[in-house]
Amino acid sequence: MAEAPGVFQRRIVIGAGLCVAAFALVGIRLVDVTLMQAALRGGSVDHAVVARADLTDRNGELLARDLPVQDLYARPHVFWDKLQAAHDLAAATGADERRLRAGFENAKHPYVLVARQLTPDAQAKVMHLGLPGLEFEPSAKRYYPDGRAAAQILGVTDPDNKGISGLELGLQDRLQAQGDEGAVATSIDMRVQYILAHETEAAREMFTAHAAGGVVMDVNTGEIIAMVSLPDFDPNGRRLTGGDSTRNIMAQDVYELGSVFKIFTFALGLQDHTFNLDEMFKIGSGYKIGKSTIHEAAEDHMPDMLAGRDVLARSSNIGSLQIALRSGGVRQKQFLAELGLLKPVHGELPETARPLYPANWGTIETATIGFGHGISVSPLSYVTAAAEVVNGGRRITPTFLKQDGDRRGEQVINPQTSLQMRDLLRYVVTDGTGKKADVVGYDVGGKTGSAQVPGPNGHYLAHALRTSFCAVFPVHNPRYVLFVLLDQPHGTKATGGLALAGYTAAPLAGKVISRIAPLLGVPNEPPPIRLAGSNS
């Protein structure tokens, strides 16, 4: 007969049973936390946020960084007063109170998301409430120390820390691959960015323009040193206020740019030797093509005859279209395509725009494109092509990443044509419509553009202009192209009521160059001595 277990043995069995039960409860809780709760919160088992590398400017200034935050979930069934809990949590986190009330009252799952990406301050407010049934989950929030200063370039991330615009989207794979190991250096120089933004905003306010923007590009590397689009927005706020806009008009909008486009008409004519700069062109009172007669802009008062160089310097439409017609539509289209103006710009910035140009490229289209109407391109596309004209005639690719060394590629136009164009653009500033862009010692060349603004039904808006200026400096040893644009500026008392580019965009370019050239190491030199009668 077996001996009955003693007291000591019974205690061992009971203790072992309790241990098994305890481990079982722990196991069940782990399964609940890792699987069930994650599923109830949104169906994802792995909610870990992937770290993103920092973004910096070319000099190492921090532009974007991950900050540790918490996502907050609640178990409303343990609240004594669900409506009061919703009210208090909304006040502490900024969440929508109506959403919380509806979620707490009608929750299909035990867990309800209260708010995402809570900062330490918000977490402290939540903890101070003393509510039961709250759980925090580690997360990350992207922070932009410079706020609005480069908002449209950098873009933003979503609550899962994935890029949804700007370089955050364009460099998504690279930023996540590097994680917290080092930083990605952009081509942006925040010193230049601040100056361009400040002067552009000041001009926008002075001339009450609808929008404004600017781009600074290194003509030998294609690096975008600065890019501004106004109105802008605060990327840290994650919401728009007032007249804010996330749209980058320099990259994702296209415009008929008007007379700045004449740079390409003249480059083509000089490249193909269809005219020379001393040749005289008849301007008269209009130029007839078929049943259409093209006139100069109403504000322009041209002489009967103009030399080739003065056609550009004084920005004559009639003279420019005659040069364009000598090349013809087929050759004009081919040349613009070679400069990359007939396709979208592809690079790290996902925001891009497809150019608009005529399907039927006939005589009238060739003429109007010759003076910058009838074709619409993005400012970024225009700047790239303009840089190719002045950098010795070699192809470049725009980039928002810091580069080392010369990145010019194949020859697009002859070096001699590029040299002639640089001389010609300097002449526009010294003797033409670009005088207000001149900065003593920095040898600025450039071209004004005062384009009509397309309206509904294919007609142009009355008394509305889109003004711009394309500058290259120093023009005889080019390093940078600056392009600025003002959308529908208005004249002031100081400009005599005129809103033309020579009075609005050109002085803006001059102010920017005078401030950024010293920072960029551009030497300030006296103007070159020219012999009497020299045209060079």
Domain residues for the domain of 108 are 68-141
Task: Report d(CA 106, CA 276) in Å as an integer.
Answer: 80
pTM reported for the whole predicted model: 0.85
Q: Is residue 232 part of a domain?
A: yes
Domain termination residue (choose one: 107, 123, 141): 141
d(CA 360, CA 333): 11
Give the pLDDT of residue 108.
Answer: 74
Same domain, 125 and 205: no
One-letter amino acid identity for 432?
Answer: G
Q: 342 and 227 share a domain?
A: yes
CA 324 to CA 286: how far, in whole Å? Answer: 16
Q: What is the pLDDT of residue 489?
A: 97
Q: What is d(CA 277, CA 323) in angstroms, rounded to the nearest whole number?
A: 11
The 3-state DSSP composition of the chain as helix, strand, coil percent (nearest 5) reads: 40, 20, 40
Tokens of 330: 């087929």
Q: Which of 141, 176, 201 is the last residue of a domain?
A: 141
Secondary element (H or E) of residue 191: helix 190-206
CATH number, domain of 84, equals 3.90.1310.10
| DSSP states of 344-381 | ---SS-------B--SS--HHHHHHHHTT-S-BB-HHH
137/204 same-domain check: no
Catalytic residue, candidates 165, 259, 381, 468: 259
Same domain, 291 and 197: yes
CA atoms of 321 and 368, how far apart (whole Å) = 7
The answer to whether residue 259 is catalytic is: yes
Contact 133, 22 (CB under 8 A): no
> How many domains in the chain?
2
353 Cβ neighbours under 8 A, 6+ residues apart: 251, 252, 253, 254, 344, 378, 381
User: Which residues touch 20 (CB under 8 Å, ≥6 apart)?
Assistant: none
Asked if the structure places residue 175 within a domain, the reply is no
Local mean pLDDT, 10-residue blocks, the chain (536 residues): 55 59 49 42 48 95 93 91 93 93 83 88 92 90 94 94 95 91 95 98 98 98 98 89 93 97 98 97 90 81 93 96 97 98 95 96 96 97 98 97 96 97 98 96 96 87 94 96 98 95 98 97 74 47
Residue 244 belongs to some domain of the structure: yes
The answer to whether residues 451 and 522 touch, using CB atoms and an 8 Å cutoff, is: no
Q: Are residues 319 and 430 in the same domain?
A: yes
CATH number reported for the structural domain that contains residue 482 in this entry: 3.40.710.10
Question: Which residue has tokens 């000591």?
Answer: 8
What gap in Å lies between CA 91 and CA 74, rounded to an integer?
A: 15
